[in-house]
Amino acid sequence: MNPIYPVVWSNNKVLLIDQTCLPNQYTLVEISRYEDMAKAIKTMIVRGAPAIGVAAAYGMYLGAREIPSQDREIFLKQLEKVAEILRQTRPTAVNLFWAISRMLKIAYETIGTVEDIKNILLQTAQLIQKEDLQTCQAIGNNGLKILPANPEKLTILTHCNAGALATAGYGTALGVIRSAWTAGRLKRVYADETRPRLQGAKLTAWECVQEQIPVTVISDNMAAHCMKQGRIDLVVVGADRIAANGDAANKIGTYGLAVISKMHQVPFYVAAPLSTVDFELETGEQITIEERDPSEIYQVGNTRICADGVDYYNPAFDVTPAALITGIITEQKTVKPKELITLK
């Protein structure tokens, strides 16, 4: 299996792995308009905070490419509209906003013609993608340093998908797992299925199979039982937004997993790039939590599993308090949540 790259620039268009089709079908979606990119982000064809950031950066270029005016002021005003449409796709993942802001900044700072700005925007999107891949590899290497010395080979539990599919490649939490596997430190991965969209069962397990990493899928409510049996040595998860105090928003169910880990004295780590840290937010209480369509709960595939007349609540994320997090693994180093501010 070749390396997994969920976002690829090729022949003047973006190719996305359609993650809604995995693991049953590997399909590429061609994106050549920014509105199609916005739809792909919103419908989770592309997902995972860093991957969303990369996709949004290319979306900004595609939007710029569609603007016909050669007048700088008119062009920049239209580019702001493109940015706003992309911002509205996913409210929780801070990498989305970070990438859009970076693209806008370079557009305003570039001296030259509108065509010069467009060229720089494409180069910047490609640079964001390259940087994220390097960042994930650095996170993986730093993750090796926090692994317990014993047992020699570890069993690591992860939640949702923070792998190559969620980034430019390699992954954050799954990047740590990949590095552990390559270094001969990993015995097995336990992957929470991650209701309601089953990213763990569908995506994380698929990635592990591609690289022949031993993986066991469990339902979300089995984690406590597995820890009590001594099956889990370590938990590593990703994040979509981290506040300055170390509170971390990740896929719904992460908070409960952290509580369980604390009870069983299992180290609980968050792996994420510094671009996922929103230093403007003092605590996780300020993080906007996306609520998604109730159909994700009341049906699996095309099969309805709930009775008519039932009400639903479907938050896509929860916030894990910093007090429950052993450490945050970044591309610079691993820090305790209270030390995160020193990396600003």
Query: 110 and 154 in contact (C-beta within 8 Å)?
Result: no
Which pLDDT tens digit goes with each residue over 224-266? 999 999 999 999 999 999 999 999 999 999 999 999 999 999 9
Confidence of residue 341 (pLDDT cuts 50, 70, 90): very high
Query: 233 and 291 in contact (C-beta within 8 Å)?
Result: no
Neighbour order of strands in the sheet with 7-10: 7-10, 13-17, 28-31
Q: What is the pLDDT of residue 152?
A: 84
The predicted model scores a pTM of: 0.94
Q: What is the pLDDT of residue 301?
A: 84
Query: 266 and 233 in contact (C-beta within 8 Å)?
Result: yes
Between 93-97, 174-178, 269-273, the lowest mean confidence (pLDDT) is in 93-97
State the average pLDDT over residues 108-134: 97
Q: Which domains does the chain have, with CATH numbers?
A: 7-136 (1.20.120.420), 143-343 (3.40.50.10470)
Mean pLDDT of the chain: 96
Write the DSSP symbol of residue 183: T
Q: What is the pLDDT of residue 189?
A: 98
pLDDT of residue 197 exceeding 60, the answer is: yes
Q: What is the pLDDT of residue 1?
A: 56
State the average pLDDT over residues 62-88: 98
Between 217-226, 232-241, 296-305, 316-325, the lowest mean confidence (pLDDT) is in 296-305
Using omega within 30 degrees of 0 as the cis cutoff, is the peptide bond preceding 214 cis?
Answer: no
Confidence of residue 100 (pLDDT cuts 50, 70, 90): very high
pLDDT of residue 151 exceeding 90, the answer is: no
State the average pLDDT over residues 287-308: 93
Name the catalytic one among 233, 240, 247, 318.
Answer: 240
Q: What is the pLDDT of residue 338?
A: 96
Q: Give the percent of the chain with pLDDT over 70.
A: 100
Tokens representing 260 are 């369980």
Q: What is the pLDDT of residue 279?
A: 96
Q: What is the pLDDT of residue 331?
A: 98
Q: What residues contact 203, with CB distance under 8 A and at least 6 apart?
A: 19, 22, 23, 161, 163, 165, 166
pLDDT of residue 215 exceeding 80, the answer is: yes
Q: What is the pLDDT of residue 266?
A: 98
The candidate with the shortest Cα–Cα distance to 88, out of 57, 46, 128, 42, is 42
pLDDT of residue 3 exceeding 90, the answer is: no
Q: Is 293 a catalytic residue?
A: no
Q: What residues contact 30, with CB distance under 8 A and at least 6 apart?
A: 13, 14, 15
